[in-house]
Amino acid sequence: MKKLALLFCAIMLFGALALPTYAEESEGYELLSNGDFEDVTLDWEKYYKATVDYTTEAHSGNGAFSITRREHSTDIARQYITKPLSHYGHGEYQLSAWVRLADANAKPIEMQIALGLYSKSGAQHWVTTQWVTVTQEWTHIQGTVYVSWQDELDIAEFYLVTPMNGDEDTTKNFRNLILDDCSMKTVSYTGEPYEIPTTEAPTTEAPSTEAPTTEAPTTEAPTTEAPITEADTNEPKETETAIADQTSTGISTQTLIFTCTMIAVGVILLGCGIALTVSYVRGKRNEASK
């Protein structure tokens, strides 16, 4: 009896020690392809009018995406994610990207990751992370957001934006950039993974994308202010961001499951300890009575 109780306690203790490691190592499914920009031919394209190219000045690996001659807040880079996002559906997603200013003397700029969601019914929806100040050093932009859309999804895209302050304001927001290590992973999804194809193109003509107009944080702005004039009618229009960043407002499903599991393991270990103590005391009494 004592040996059986000891064996059971040892097994439960091993499980309790191994569980945190498993929880830390488990990751969601990746929606982006070539997010590390190691392949110079796949999946990414300029968003608007910028000049884009591959560079070896990478955050990791051998390649990164260089963006120059920007003329708009969305003038950076994008990737279509319609098929994988349709597969994984509504839920929590972890967005991430590394970016830095390409020019040594450029002033800092605010940036955020955005998802553009366009339904076949004509509904349009945007989800963004919080604004982050980008400098000449590699800067991490990230956030956990809840993604949803109306009706059947027609086009979905992953991209980055800078604040919109007038298209003529080339000295304030249209910095040359280097982008690397982009990622979009599932958080709450528990089904089967989607097999990402080599390339993905939109099934219909991409809409004239409107940039989200979330307010920049109250950090010190660049010293050079330019007047805001009416934008070119061919440029994307401003629209409200439908969902704010949820990085600090919610508890993910994986965290909740892990917490409940640890509580259950603790209760089981406590019960085993009590059973072992009772068995030991009874054994001593039996020995004393002989």
254-to-5, 85, 96, 190 alpha-carbon distances in Å: 31, 20, 18, 10
Mean pLDDT estimate for the chain:
74
Please state the rounded mean pLDDT for residues 41-69.
83
pLDDT of residue 79: 92
3-class secondary structure, 266: helix
CA angle centred on 232, ends 230 and 234, rounded to 5°: 145
- Residue for token digits 């994008």? 78
pLDDT of 290 above 80: no
**Do both 187 and 171 map to the same domain?**
yes
Locus of tokens 């880079």: 77
- Domain match, 281 and 140 both: no
CATH number at residue 155: 2.60.120.260
Tell me which range, 154-158, 223-227, 268-272, is most confidently predicted by mean pLDDT.
154-158
35 in the same domain as 17: no
Q: Is 151 left (phi over 0), alpha (psi -120 to 50) or beta?
A: left
- Is the pLDDT score of 114 beyond 90? yes
Higher-confidence residue: 3 or 34?
34
Contact in structure between 162 and 101 (CB atoms under 8 Å): no
Helix, coil or strand: residue 39: coil
**In the prediction, which pLDDT does 94 show?**
97
pTM for the whole structure = 0.61
Question: What pLDDT score does 265 carry?
Answer: 67
3-state secondary structure of 103: coil
pLDDT, position 231? 36
Q: Answer whether residue 262 is part of any domain.
A: yes
Question: Which residues are CB-contacts of 286 (< 8 A; sequence separation ≥ 6)?
Answer: none
Cα–Cα dist 251/93, whole Å: 13
145 and 85, same domain (yes or no): yes
Statement to judge: residues 51 and 168 lie in one domain: yes
Domain of 266, in residue numbers: 2-23+253-289
Three-class DSSP category at 110:
strand
Token pair of 271 as six digits: 């019960």
3-state secondary structure 139-190: EEEEEEEEECCCCCEEEEEEEEECCCCCCCCCCCCCCCEEEEEEEEEECCCC
- pLDDT tops 80 at residue 162: yes
Taking Cα atoms as reference points, which of 82, 67, 51, 272 lies closest to residue 184? 82
Are 199 and 87 part of one and the same domain? yes
Q: Give the type of residue at 244.
A: A
Look at residue 126 in the predicted model and tell me its pLDDT.
94
